[in-house]
């Protein structure tokens, strides 16, 4: 029987799904940043090689780290039997074990669990429930809610891109009558390279920011200081020109979003805070501003900064 969940009850039932899982956990969420209470519960499952964990995340095709953080990947890859997949169109959220499932509006994201108004529907698969579902299917020809949802998300998993796969390896025991767990083997790993490249990209920026702080304390001539600046008129508060999102601006310039952010950061118009890009005072003075979009606030850039980025 389905049960409607909100607020603390939704969080509590999701935690119970993790606690009671022995064979399977499926986590499907566009954004993944584990809450401490969920991470603590899942950590107790790290030695269970029979527990198969499947994760599908999505969104942010050009920078997957905005959908799954490296710390969470490092946490998940320690499990002995796990696959991590990516689906760029994903917007649905679905969490299940071998005995229960929750279809919900809530991302597996700590901010969502603590702050957002969320709701979900939970179903529990029991022997009696499965027999009833089969009876209903045979009599009416209609599949149950449980089966329909489960089959739908199985197709999502199958169609998604496999980024990481770690499987348990076994050896024969008791004259071949039993299998003994030996170790786990990483068979596919595209995420480690991705996050390594991401770190290489971020490292020069951190070094530059550190250097800039020292330069303020004791100014010394640099190439950047002596480079002639392009004369760009600063927009007024009532600027009526065209604004671009980062995605639209990267397309206008014919570069990736990653390269665009690097260029804009080099101009000291944005900076990283808590893994998010925020405007600096210089960026605001150049006319950049925050606007509301379908998925929340984003930085909008005036077309007057385009000459500086070419």
Domains in the chain, number: 2
Shared domain for 129 and 264, answered yes or no, is no
The model carries a pTM of 0.62
Domain that includes residue 78, residue range: 3-193
Backbone angles phi, psi at 39, to 5 degrees: -60, -40
Shared domain for 185 and 237, answered yes or no, is no
Has residue 209 been placed in a domain? no
Shared domain for 181 and 250, answered yes or no, is no
The answer to whether 34 and 57 have CB atoms below 8 angstroms apart is no
**In the beta sheet, which residues pair with residue 109?**
33
Q: What is the mean pLDDT of the chain?
A: 82
The answer to whether 82 and 164 have CB atoms below 8 angstroms apart is yes
Shared domain for 240 and 168, answered yes or no, is no
Shared domain for 152 and 97, answered yes or no, is yes
For residue 240, what pLDDT is reported? 66
Q: What is the pLDDT of residues 85-130, one digit of tens each?
A: 999 999 999 999 999 999 999 999 988 888 899 999 999 864 444 4
Of 193, 214, 244, which marks where a domain is finished? 193
Decide the pairing of beta strands 270-273 and 243-244.
unpaired
pLDDT at 230 over 70: no
Shared domain for 53 and 163, answered yes or no, is yes
CATH code (residue 295): 1.10.1660
Has residue 35 been placed in a domain? yes
Backbone angles phi, psi at 299, to 5 degrees: -85, 130
User: Which stretch of 161-165, 258-262, 266-270, 277-281 has the lowest confidence by average pLDDT?
Assistant: 258-262
Given phi > 0 = left and psi -120 to 50 = alpha, else beta, which region is 182?
A: alpha
Q: What is the pLDDT of residues 22-47, one digit of tens each?
A: 999 999 999 999 999 999 999 999 99
């Amino acid at each position: 029987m389905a049960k409607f969940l909100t607020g603390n009850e939704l969080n509590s039932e999701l935690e119970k799904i993790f606690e009671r899982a022995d064979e399977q956990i499926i986590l499907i969420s566009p954004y993944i940043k584990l809450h401490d209470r969920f991470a603590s519960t899942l950590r107790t499952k790290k030695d269970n090689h029979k527990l198969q964990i499947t994760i599908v995340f999505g969104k942010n095709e050009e920078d997957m780290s905005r959908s799954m953080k490296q710390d969470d990947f490092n946490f998940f890859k320690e499990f002995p039997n796990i696959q991590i997949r990516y689906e760029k169109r994903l917007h649905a959220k679905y969490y299940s074990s071998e005995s229960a499932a929750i279809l919900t509006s809530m991302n597996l994201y700590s901010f969502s669990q603590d702050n957002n108004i969320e709701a979900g529907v939970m179903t529990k698969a029991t022997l009696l429930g499965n027999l009833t579902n089969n009876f209903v299917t045979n009599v009416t020809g209609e599949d149950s809610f449980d089966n329909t949802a489960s089959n739908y998300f199985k197709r999502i998993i199958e169609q998604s891109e496999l980024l990481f796969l770690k499987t348990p390896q076994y050896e024969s025991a008791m004259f071949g009558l039993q299998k003994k767990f030996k170790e786990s083997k990483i068979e596919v790993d595209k995420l480690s390279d991705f996050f390594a490249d991401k770190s290489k990209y971020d490292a020069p920026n951190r070094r530059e920011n550190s250097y800039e702080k020292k330069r303020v304390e004791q100014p010394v001539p640099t190439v950047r200081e002596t480079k002639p600046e392009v004369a760009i008129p600063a927009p007024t508060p009532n600027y009526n020109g065209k604004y671009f999102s980062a995605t639209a601006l990267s397309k206008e310039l014919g570069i990736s979003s990653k390269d665009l952010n690097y260029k804009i950061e080099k101009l000291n118009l944005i900076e990283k805070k808590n893994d998010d890009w925020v405007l600096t005072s210089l960026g605001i003075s150049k006319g950049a501003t925050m606007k509301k979009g379908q998925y929340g606030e984003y930085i909008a850039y005036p077309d007057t900064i385009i000459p500086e980025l070419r």
